[in-house]
Amino acid sequence: MTTSVLQQWFPWVETPMIANGPMIGAACPKLATEVTRAGGVGFNQCVVDVSADCPNLKQLDEELTECRQLLGDQATDSSGRLRVGAGFLGLHPSFPEFVSTALPILQRHKPVAVWFFAPATAPTPHHKPIIQALKTQISPAPSVFIQVGNVKAAREAVEDGADVVVCQGIDAGGHQFRRGMGVMSLVPEAKEAVEEMGKDKDVVVIAAGGIVCGKGAAAALALGAEGVVMGTRFTVSPESSYPDFRKALVLKTSDGGNTTLKSWFNDKIAENHKWGEIYDGRAIIGPIHDKFMAGASLDECLKELKEGYSPEEAKQLINTWAGTGVGRVRKALPAGEVVKEVREDAIKTMRALAARYS
């Protein structure tokens, strides 16, 4: 496996490949298209609800249309695929309706990639029928990305038919597997497992979680990844739809191991129950988190959040998702500049290491 496979799938991509995560509330057409323009793979935000006539599907259609307009005469590759990706979360009860509701939109727009994460029943392969429909009912078929957090899930992704296995380490911001691994241990073991299972086809492993700079990207490549996904770094780009107060908080936060918390608490305090027991998330710590970590119960924290703060203040205290690399996110660069900077620094780092140890 070489990065030339990625370039066959995404001919405009420059290596090492850099993608933005399909972050709900941050990824959007402006962000996705600028990542693509810079030689990466841009993704719009994940769709959660795929029930018939739901607002999420209308938004998906509108965002893919906007991407086409923003890219103009660069909108499609030589095979006619739209040069951005779409993402979906599998945990919503409507997900079994995907083929009848979401697939027609994808058939119309032909995004170059489709990203899946968070099946409702993680221990059981969940995406296979949907991936088969994507591969047989869209021509040319999109490349399928499946996000995983441990080796078992990586194996299941291959069984389901993934083209790209996104190995998300527990340093990541936002939602992830509770029973996850760090990138350092996940990527090489998952790559070994994927290569063993995918001997009859090309399956690419890329890394995510805590990667915010070229040195992190170079480290991921050394572990065996073929490219990287970044989230936190892109949240503060001017093209990102992350609210300004969250961008400001990300930029002023440092020491991500001490100032972010990976916990079920981040969903429970927001009274967000859709993620269940399989997943949790990492977000920036505020005073309500401090109260919880000092021993207060969830009910006590919920009461203080509702009674001690205005609704706007309460909103700003929770759910600013960010990874442990947040301390190295020090300025808000345009998304295209981020892609180029990280790619160039990764190459420079690898060359310096090769020279040092040759």
Instruction: Classify burial at 258, counting beta carbons within 10 Å of its beta carbon; exposed 0-12, middle 13-18, buried 19 or more.
Output: exposed
What are the φ and ψ backbone dihedral angles of 205, each rounded to 5 degrees? Answer: -110, 130
DSSP 8-state assignment for residue 13:
P
The single residue of 109, 127, 175, 289 carrying the catalytic annotation is 175
Cis peptide before 140 (omega within 30 of 0): yes
CA 33 to chain centre: 15
Q: Tell me the CA end-to-end span of the chain in Å, nearest whole number.
A: 24
294-329 pLDDT, tens digit each: 999 999 999 999 999 999 999 999 999 999 999 999
Of 51-55, 128-132, 334-338, highest mean pLDDT: 334-338
| DSSP output for 210-241 | S--SHHHHHHHHHHT-SEEEESHHHHTSTT--
Contact status, residue 108 vs residue 62, Cβ threshold 8 Å: no
| Catalytic annotation present for 289 | no
Cis peptide before 16 (omega within 30 of 0): yes
pLDDT at 123: 46
- Reference 215, options 35, 54, 351, 95; nearest CA is 351
Is pLDDT of 122 > 60? no
Amino acid at 72: G
201-235 pLDDT, tens digit each: 799 999 999 999 999 999 999 999 999 999 999 99
